[in-house]
Structure formats: structure tokens, C-alpha cells
A = this chain, B = another copy of it.
Amino acid sequence: MIRLQSYLSGRWQDGEGEGAALRDPSTEEVVARTSTAGLDFGAALSFARERGGPALRALSFAERGAMLSAMSKLLHTERDALIEVSAKSAGTPRGDAKFDIDGAAGTLAYYGSLGKRLGDRRWLAPDEGEQLTRSSRFWGYHIELPLRGVAVHVNAFNFPAWGFAEKAAVALLAGVPVVTKPATATAWLTYECVKRILDAEILPEGALSLVCGGAGDLLMHLRSQDALAFTGSAETGRTLRSLPNVIEHSVRVNVEADSLNSTVVAPGVERGSEVWQLFVRDVAREVTQKSGQKCTATRRVFVPTELLAAAQEDLVEELKRTKVGVPGDEGVRMGPLTTAQQKTDVLAGIRALMDEGAELTFRGEAPEGEGYFVPVSLLTQPNPAQATQVHQLEVFGPVATLMPYEGVEQAIELVARGGGSLLATVYGDDKQALSELILGLAPHSGRVLVGSKKVADQTTPPGMVLPSCVHGGPGRAGGGEELGGLRGLRFYLQRTAVQGDRALLARLLDVPRGD
């Protein structure tokens, strides 16, 4: 058993007492312990602000990017060791562990190369500006400088590597020091990533801190130049947004919450076509990957009424192929849920969906006894317009509900009942239907993936978050926005209009020549 520590104020620190127990989800054995009791979070944030902030701001984008590239390479080099920790601490089969760890390394690499492209500057080049009055001398530019505070990242249990890395990459490239707080249940993997990065001395002192265990009063110390990025349940997101100091000091908060993501098969798709096959493969993957514990996983699958029976048959056929069991065992592709609580919640969630009339179309097999295993379940809700739970209750496990719809307009209306999602996926080739679906679903979605014939063998999996595209969604999904290349940096920058003598400002602000 390992005892995890936190890295705060430039040193490893252990909290008081026995601490929380982290269990192997396949065996329920305690594999690690960690405590933050008695640690001084106020001092840790001050240290990050006062040491890490100036050190990062003194570096150029290219220099910060080089650090991210080094972090990426390190995680890649250490991949096998990390996969092992992932299996023991998060119950992930090799494929799921790689998805998390390669996602981390890939996002760091992407932002590393973005830093290289941004070059020697220490802040984003101002726009070309504009004339403000009749005088051609009096000019306005907008500059974006790093916040003078600290970025606190509170992550979910499902992506201990990727969740840490994607947030850290963006904040560090922007020039803002990071205090990362993984969910306690799977913090061991984050700990292993952070420890290696710190040991390699890639980052300046104070640029990266780790809270391993309970958050205590960490968030009470946030002030106006700080930023809080959170991934997790909508409920916790609401709690963080309501914190008195967050409200009082207008602390920036980005919430990326689980949501009721949808898949829609557009009218006109033929059973057995390439697009249909893509739909079937994608849904089966989204339901089972990471045991369905992905904020981007599909929860609601809408198909034209006439295709409902076909979708049931083909999805069941595909889902049957997923063997559930202990990671590493022969042929196992899906592991257990991460915690006992998750298992309880998922089983209760399935019951709630069935209580309002969803039928059990498929229920797979899963090991009994020790371990937080649950079977893969496909439900069918024949009356989606009357149902409410299926649009509001996220069952965070290997579960999806199939529903019929009549006409594109109804499909959009049903998707919108989710109250805002990270993602909607649309399959089809009919241009009119696709156009209506994209434009109708976009206001309710952070991302829309369109699977059509010509890209049927080239799309990324819908649930995969790419660093070049924004990640987040309106309403229920938290109303936030992460990643998206440069776009994500803006959360960590203060945009300021600067007005004055054009020539003077162009020189002082280092406006690119040619403007």
C-alpha cells in the first residue's frame, strides 16, 4: 500500500491521521491512503501566486510550450508504469488506461506545439486595433495578459491523467500557476504523473502544486485574480459557483459537468449502410468505454421510429461482444465502476429509468462478488415525449437509452430537454436533415459531431475530446468552455482595452509590424 502526499508550497507534505482509503475497484482492496488534514492551503496558494506566477510570466510562449512538450514526452515514456497504476487504482483495462494517459500526453503535446507557434512573445499579440475618434492618432488596442493569481483545478475521478493534464496545459501555457486537485478515489494516478514531472524539474518552482485528498478550505482562499476550473457533477459545480468568496471576488469559474449527451440518427439512413455501421460501433464504444464513466458518453440515442427495432437488434449484437471483468484477464474490455458509490448510483439510476417506463432491451454479464462490476445495459424508452427522467437523470455507467422520434423537429426538441449538453452526435447523409439538425442542436451543445458517408472510417470517437475543439456545453453541462486551441487560454487572461497614441502604444505593446 502506498501513502500519497500533497505537493504544496514547494515541498511534499503529508496530512494528519489515517486519511482516506483508495481501493482497487476490481478487488475492493485498499491500495493507497492519503490525507490533507492540517495542510495550509492558504499558504500554498500564496506560494503559487508569488513564486510560480512571476516565474511563468517571465517565460515566453515558446519556453512554456517546451515545458509542456517535455511533460508530454515524460508521460509517454512512463506509459507502462502509469497503465499499471491506472489498472490498480481505477480498474481500467489496458485500452481505457491508454485512452486516459495518451489523452494527457496528446493534449500536452498539442499545447506544447501551440506554444512553439506563438513564439517569443510573453502575451498574445494585440489585435490590429482601431481608430477611436476622428483623429487617426488616437487608437484602441486590446491586450490579454495572464491573471496575477493561481489556477485551481478540481478534477473528476474518471480521467486522473487526462483531466489533470488538459487543464494544466492550458493554464501553464497562458502563464498562470496551477494547483491541481484530483478526485481522491483515483488520485494515485495523478500523483504518479505529477511526481514524475516534479522530479524531472521541468517547471519553475511554484508552477505546479498537487492536493491529494480532501479539498478542505482550499477554495475559500480564492480571490479576484484566481481562476477555478472544475470537472464533475452538476451538483458540485453549483456548490462551487455559490461559494461566498467566489461570488464576492468575481472569481472566474469554469464548470464542465456531466450531461445527457445525445446521438441522433437522421432520417434517411439505411440499416447496414456505412453510416449505420458507424453509428452502431460508436454507440457501443461510448456505452462501454471507461465503463460508461465519461462526461461525453452518449446517454440518449434517438432513431427514426421505423428504425427502432433495427437499432435494438444491431446494438445488442454489438454490445454483446464486450467482455466485462478484471483488467488484464483474457479478453476483458470493460472493467468495474470506480467506487462502491458509483455502483449503487448506477443501479438505482437504471431502476429510476425503468420506473418511468423504459424497457430493458439488453443486459450483459458481469462478475459477481468482490469488485464494483455492473453489466452493460441498453434500455428503450418508447415514449420519450412523455418521459422526464431519461432527459434529466444521468446514469454515469455503461447504460444508454434508445428512443424513437418522428421528424427532425421533434428530435431537436427531445435533445433540448436535456437542458444543455457537452455533445450531440448526428449520423446521416441527407443534407437538408443534417443542416436542420446541426443548426438546431448547436445552441444546446458544446460540440456536434457529424458522421456521414465520406468520413465514416475517419471520424474520431464522439466521446474523444480534441484539444483543438472547445470542450464544454451550455446549461446543465455547466456553461463552460475549455481547450479549443487558443480559445482555452482566454479563461486565464484578462482582456484589457488600451487607448492612446497609436505609434506609442504599438511600440510599448509590441504590436506586430504591418499594422
Contact = CB atoms under 8 A, between A and B. Distances in A.
A485 to B, nearest CB: 8
A147 interface: yes
Interface in A322-347: none
B138 A459 contact: yes
B494 A443 contact: yes
Contacts of A459: 138, 499-500
A501 B455 contact: yes
B455 A135 contact: yes
A484 interface: yes
A454 interface: yes
A466 interface: yes
B500 A468 contact: no
Given A133-B458, A138-B459, A470-B497, A452 B250 contact: no
A107 interface: no
Interface string A118-159: 000000000000101101011010110111100000000000
A73 interface: no
Interface stretch (A96-104, A207-215, A472-480): A472-480
Interface centre among A142, A416, A443, A507, by most chain B C-beta atoms within 10 angstroms, is: A443
A504 interface: yes
A505 interface: yes
A460 interface: yes
A2 interface: no
Interface in A415-447: 416, 419-420, 431, 434-435, 438-439, 442-447
A509 B438 contact: yes
B140 A469 contact: yes
A35 B323 CA distance: 67
A475 B438 contact: no
A55 to B, nearest CB: 16
Interface in A49-102: none
A475 B439 contact: no
Interface in A245-260: 247-252, 255
A479 B438 contact: no
A388 interface: no
A454 B225 contact: no
Contacts of A451: 500
Given A452-B504, A454-B137, A459-B138, A496 B224 contact: no
A1 to B, nearest CB: 40
Contacts of A251: 479
Contacts of A448: 496-499
Interface string A455-469: 100111000001011
A497 B431 contact: no
A508 B435 contact: yes
A351 interface: no
Interface in A142-178: 142-143, 145-148
Contacts of A475: 223-225, 249-250
A363 interface: no
Given A138-B460, A497-B447, A509-B438, A132 B469 contact: yes
Contact of A508 (B138, B145, B255, B431): B431
A451 B133 CA distance: 15
A161 to B, nearest CB: 21
A238 B469 CA distance: 32
A32 B87 CA distance: 72
Contact of A247 (B242, B480, B501): B242
A446 B474 CA distance: 25
A142 B470 contact: yes
A447 B499 contact: yes
Given A143-B442, A504-B434, A474 B250 contact: yes
B504 A454 contact: yes
A166 to B, nearest CB: 15
A433 to B, nearest CB: 11
A449 interface: yes
A445 to B, nearest CB: 6
Nearest to A466: B132
Interface of A: 130, 132-133, 135, 137-138, 140, 142-143, 145-148, 223-225, 237-238, 241-242, 247-252, 255, 416, 419-420, 431, 434-435, 438-439, 442-452, 454-455, 458-460, 466, 468-471, 474-481, 484-485, 487, 494-501, 503-505, 507-509
Given A130-B468, A130-B485, A137-B455, 5 more contacts: A132-B468, A135-B455, A238-B247, A252-B479, A445-B496
